[in-house]
Amino acid sequence: MSKVPLTVTGAEKLREELHRLKTVDRPWVIAAIAEARAHGDLSENAEYDAAKERQGFIEGRIQEVEGKLSNAQIIDPKLLDADGRCVFGATVEIEDQDSGEVVIYQIVGEDEADIKNGKLSVASPMARALIGKYAGDIAQVQAPGGIREFEVIDVRYE
């Protein structure tokens, strides 16, 4: 399996989720299964079926998170020597050349992406267009309405 790029913050969030799944969710679902078993006939016990389904989801998510963490390549943008270039983990301020709108994005791993909070997936067309650019460069992005141009105003490593 290939390495999964993650920021330090993204890796920490995955570790927190894994800890919660193992110490809170897993024991809770085990108790729910035990309680449903105590109600008798399992063949017509909806509580038991729901708890078993939830257990399957939790165990699957634990395996998924453990896999991502074991294959993670944790990148701290503050430690990169990128000479002002836009790279994974960088925070980029860009201006839409048509509308003049200025937005700030951090380029993060796919699991961390949250466009509403300014977290842009490294696999997105926008991030692919920005990678390698310097402040003052123009990035062209293929959008559904045609090619859009964005000027890179600033690149920071936070």
The model's pLDDT over 135-148, given as tens digits with 9 standing for 90+, comes to 999 999 988 888 99
Task: Say what the pTM is.
Answer: 0.78
Per-residue confidence (pLDDT) for residue 62, from 0 to 100: 95
- Domains of the chain, CATH where assigned: 4-75 (1.10.287.180), 77-156 (3.10.50.30)
Give Cβ neighbours of residue 75 (< 8 Å, ≥ 6 apart).
5, 6, 7, 8, 88, 89
| Residue of 132, 126, 131 lying closest to 150 (CA atoms) | 126
Q: Where does residue 130 rank: exposed (0-12), middle (13-18), buried (19+ CB within 10 A)?
A: buried
**pLDDT tens-digit readout, 79-110:** 877 788 999 999 999 999 989 999 999 999 98
Please report which confidence band the pLDDT of residue 1 belongs to, taking 50, 70 and 90 as the band edges.
low
